[in-house]
Chains A and B, each alone.
Chain A
Amino acid sequence: MSDFEEFPPGADVWPDDFSRRDFVKLAAASLALAGVGCTRQPLETIVPYVATPEHRVQGEPQWFATAIPFRGFGFGVLAKSFEGRPVKLEGNPDHPASLGATNAFVQASILDLYDPQRSQYVRKNGAPSSWSAFAAEVVPAIGRGGRGLHILSQTITSPSLIALTAQFPAAKWHQWEPVSRDAVYEGTRLAFGAPLEPRYHFENADVVVALDADFLSDDPASVRYARDFTRRRSSTTNRLYALEPMPTITGAMADHRLPCRASDVANHARALAERIALPTGDHWIDAIARDLIAHRGAALVVAGDCQPPIVHALAHSINSFVGGGRTVEYSEPVASPTSHIDSLRDLIHDLDAGAVDVLIILGGNPVYDTPIDLDFMHHLARAKISVHLSPYVDETSSRTQWHLPESHPLEQWSDIRAFDGTATIIQPLIAPLYDTRSAHEVLSMLTGAPATGHDIVKNFWSPRTNFEASLARGIVEGTALPAVPVERRPLPAAEHESRGAPLEINLRPDPTIWDGRHAKNGWLQELPKPITKLVWGSAAFVGPQLAERLHLRNEQVVEISAHGQIVSAPVWIVPGHADGSVTLHFPNAYPLLFSDSLLAISGASLRNTLKVHSLVSTQEHFTLDGRDHLRVATLEEARRDPHWAHDPEKEPRRDETLYPAYPYLGHAWGMAIDLNSCIGCGACVIACNAENNIPFVGREQVARGRAMHWIRVDRYFAGSIDDPKIDHEPILCMHCENAPCEPVCPVEATVHSSEGLNEMVYNRCIGTRYCSNNCPYKVRRFNFLQYAPKSDPIDLMWNPDVTVRSRGVMEKCTYCVQRIERTRIRAADEHRPIRDGEIVTACQQACPAQAIVFGDVNDPKSRVSRLKAEGRNYSILAELNTRPRTTYLGKLRNPNAELEKR
């Protein structure tokens, strides 16, 4: 058994200053008032259309193809609209970056649309103003052809927006984003002489080396890559090596992970490239090199966006030797390959020279996220007119003269390119909730002849494609960029970097709030970060050796100083973090972002302040630790014993009961989760939130163990603390056939359905919480407070098929019963049986790795039945005879025997 308490301290404490005596008084008053407070249901109005919009069936959702930006690249989605309100986003199966799945960022963007904190009107110097006043002041200030006009944006891949800027030939366009693709383009320039966009084919790779590359979560194509990688893994079992400082989900998937400092990756990459020709003597590198050579034609080396260009160039060189052209191809860059930092320096120079009449900042928050030594905030004041278009009033908005509220992607016409160049036309699902406009509309306003977003986008695409067909399908046919042939150039000689700097700082994007742009999104803040499981905050991540040397403990505040700047952050010790380096995530890391070192700082110093700042990590909430619930084997072990995951002695026999077995005559719903595919990204958690109206509860409530997630992804470390194996296990309601929660409910609020669902009846629940206490899997969640806001505009977001729960009610995963029932009814309307795979749960639909399969276990031919028949299939806590309907397929590792026997 673990040392952890089952419930964190304070979990049963009343949330504010409120005594037990006060509670009894209030309860007595409530009881007295309950008798007089009842009225009958009030009359409700019902509003017919004047004329029903085309294709609208009242009471049925409609789907529209559009796209959500991720790092400036397009991510195709199908948006579900209910009576004109967008309520849920699903991946567009036709879109190359999605293939039907999504990631957490995309799922959570629906919450941004209905965020009450959004900026709602134009401001001039902080005071309310209007769009017409803006146009009247700014348009005359722009010179002929846009002279004196400077535009600063994040990465932009919108073809029509780029075409719009052509109307200002004399204007200058600058790009800045702290985590850019600069190194990717510069790396291909080093390797091939021209900036190119690499496209990886993980579906062809048997051996993959990730050089500090988190391709499963932070690449613009990460969802696609996760699908390709895990599919190859389940069919032929590929092998992944990862070299990285801070464990990421890619490192967690790796069969071999080498914790190494970010600055050492370049040396390893060079050694690997040289070793392909000659042995080096380094055990690790030699083994990888032999493996790469042995799998020539199916080998791939990927460099991470945060690594310097030389690492990318080395990766490309190795690939040209061992990839055989099948694992990577190159196209023209999708985004502008101009270096972001040069572009920003250029802008600062122009600002200094007084050459900037009008500075339009399209999105982003440059006052906050530009390198600290460039002092953008100070230079910004030199622009004669400064304008910031942004969805929120942020640091930049309050230092520009004009703030313009920006429309959400679900409120505007636009277009965007995916990682392979495929364009998607973005269409609005709802008229702007507030007086907001899109970047297109603002730029067209500046031309003096304002056009609507619709006209701009339609006029751009109509001559190029069938506009209606492209809009309906969600991709513009034939816009994917073709692969171009490349010719390798000799690489520059090794730079002799001064190695052995005492301490190195890696600045990295946060796994859930990226560079800070999602910081206002409560779902993403409350999504436990994949490895650390921290929520609502971040830390300075260090390895166990460094922590031991410096006597650091979790949550102790340290001051990290470099180049005269200091940032203080609480420490979080991450097993497997490289020694001699500290990882800081944005936005915490901004005080240490310098224009010459950007994402890697060497020669920093660290001081323990001995103060403590508490962090909230959910790993120890609802823990199942120490009960053999996670089964992992190597491929070799699995070959020797195909039923390795199964322990028949532990599973009680089905006939060991006095009662007759319940006959499940119709459907019997069940789920199988393949731990071999699960990458631990958390897309399922946010998808479940959006589908099932699950609110976020805030930092203080999560600290008490009151997060409401119906599905959680547990993370486990195994092996040595310096280089552990990392595993993920998604846990949701198991829908046990012998559910321990059911017999303890005094009011029958949780009962079993005829199809094996463990039902939760909210309007019966009186909140005793006995069920939750009796659940061995710890999947039940209680509404301690009224978490779900029932106020405008958030109430527009709730899924009308799912009850919005009130305070005092227990809830948990329902297997998306609303989807089961809707599918059942539609099938019955058409007088046909439900097809296998027709019911898709929200978590299953979002999963980039397709690790979750749902279906009818009574049908032996269904996909879920076939998976459950595999030797790897096992039930968690089967010895309790709960007979869970959710079962797991054990995880397989494919270690290199050469490295294992060491």
Chain B
Amino acid sequence: MAQLFSRAASVRLNVALLIVFVALPVIGSFGWWALYNSPLRTRRDIPIEQPIFFSHKHHAGQLGIDCRYCHATVETSAFAGIPPIHTCMSCHSQVWRTAAMLEPVRAAWRTGIVLPWIRVNDLPQFTVFDHSIHVNRGVGCATCHGRVDQMDVVAPAVTFDMRWCLKCHRQVARDDSQMKHLTDCVTCHR
């Protein structure tokens, strides 16, 4: 009686087993890991289009306006604050008064109807963050937000994953025995 399986069948089976049980999981894991960390999930470095074109590069970079001119409550509040239309109009009632690009801003100022913006840096709902304490303890804006002064349209510069936050928090908690609470869960989740 002839052999039921050819000589090559055994090799093919071994290769198939190798692919299914070793190669696919390894490739899959790497693939998932790459996908997980890619901008597809994190949105990192992907500029987010806003309802009107506002260039941080022009205002903060080229004109040198301080971040705090518009994000005024960053040193006193949990929320850095996004500027009211009033802040825009403090300059643009004098300069570029008729620019077509600024018409939505002027319309909002005239009518009192708000101009919704898209949030760029968005933490999950179960995470609490306070700007004032970070800024007052020497964490500069660029540490978390990147070189906004070089971005025309702002993109998230970091992923804001917990491991990213913990890089600093763990460091400080290790170095200063009075700051151990920085790695307590309730510091950020409550």
Q: Does B associate with A?
A: yes
A residues neighboring B (CB under 8 Å): 40-41, 43-52, 57-60, 665-667, 751, 753-755, 757, 759, 761-763, 801-803, 814, 817-818, 821, 824-825, 828-829
Q: A754-B184, A817-B186 are in contact. Are A48 and B128 (CB under 8 A)?
A: no
Q: Chain A at the B interface: mostly helix, strand, loop or mixed?
A: loop
13 contacts between A and B (CB under 8 A): A43-B48, A46-B82, A49-B86, A58-B81, A59-B80, A753-B184, A754-B183, A759-B185, A763-B189, A801-B128, A801-B190, A821-B130, A829-B132
Check if B128 sits within 8 Å of A44, measured CB to CB.
no
Check if B190 sits within 8 Å of A821, measured CB to CB.
yes
Check if B184 sits within 8 Å of A43, measured CB to CB.
no
Check if B180 sits within 8 Å of A40, measured CB to CB.
no
Check if A44 sits within 8 Å of B84, measured CB to CB.
no
- On chain B, the residues within 8 Å of A817 by CB distance are 186, 190
Check if B186 sits within 8 Å of A48, measured CB to CB.
no
Check if A45 sits within 8 Å of B43, measured CB to CB.
no
Mask: chain B, 30-54; 1 = CB below 8 Å from A; 0 = not: 0000000000110100001000000
Q: Let me know if B77 is at the binding interface, CB within 8 A.
A: yes
Q: Closest 4 CB pairs between A and B?
A: A59-B79, A753-B184, A754-B180, A49-B84
Stretch at the interface among B93-101, B115-123, B141-149: B115-123
CB distance from B79 to the nearest CB of A (A): 3
- On chain B, the residues within 8 Å of A44 by CB distance are 118-119, 122
Q: Let me know if B171 is at the binding interface, CB within 8 A.
A: no
Check if A60 sits within 8 Å of B77, measured CB to CB.
yes
Residue of A nearest to B116 (CB): A45
Q: A50-B85, A755-B184 are in contact. Are A818 and B190 (CB under 8 A)?
A: yes
Check if B73 sits within 8 Å of A57, measured CB to CB.
yes
Docked Cα-Cα span, A825 to B85, in Å, equals: 29
Check if A58 sits within 8 Å of B79, measured CB to CB.
yes
4 more CB-based (< 8 A) A-B contacts, given A43-B48, A44-B119, A667-B181: A58-B77, A801-B128, A803-B126, A825-B130
B residues neighboring A (CB under 8 Å): 40-41, 43, 48, 73, 75-86, 108-109, 112-119, 122, 124-126, 128, 130-133, 136-137, 177-181, 183-187, 189-190
Q: Chain B at the A interface: mostly helix, strand, loop or mixed?
A: loop
Docked Cα-Cα span, A802 to B83, in Å, equals: 26
Check if B73 sits within 8 Å of A59, measured CB to CB.
yes
Q: Which of B48, B137, B179, B190 has the most CB of A within 10 A?
A: B190
- On chain A, the residues within 8 Å of B124 by CB distance are 41
Check if A48 sits within 8 Å of B137, measured CB to CB.
no
Check if B190 sits within 8 Å of A45, measured CB to CB.
no
- On chain A, the residues within 8 Å of B73 by CB distance are 57-60
Docked Cα-Cα span, A814 to B181, in Å, equals: 15
Partner of A50 from B81, B112, B183 at Cβ < 8 Å: B112
Partner of A49 from B40, B41, B114, B130 at Cβ < 8 Å: B114
- On chain A, the residues within 8 Å of B86 by CB distance are 49-52
Check if A825 sits within 8 Å of B181, measured CB to CB.
no
Partner of A821 from B41, B126, B178, B186 at Cβ < 8 Å: B186
Residue of A nearest to B187 (CB): A821
- On chain B, the residues within 8 Å of A828 by CB distance are 133, 136-137
Residue of B nearest to A750 (CB): B185
- On chain B, the residues within 8 Å of A46 by CB distance are 82, 116-119
- On chain A, the residues within 8 Å of B185 by CB distance are 751, 753, 759, 761
- On chain A, the residues within 8 Å of B122 by CB distance are 41, 43-44
Docked Cα-Cα span, A761 to B190, in Å, equals: 7
Partner of A757 from B79, B137, B186 at Cβ < 8 Å: B186
Q: A48-B84, A48-B115 are in contact. Are A754 and B186 (CB under 8 A)?
A: no
Docked Cα-Cα span, A646 to B85, in Å, equals: 64
Docked Cα-Cα span, A58 to B73, in Å, equals: 7
Q: Which of B76, B77, B185 has the most CB of A within 10 A?
A: B185
Residue of B nearest to A757 (CB): B186
Residue of B nearest to A48 (CB): B82
- On chain B, the residues within 8 Å of A821 by CB distance are 128, 130, 186-187, 190
Docked Cα-Cα span, A400 to B180, in Å, equals: 65
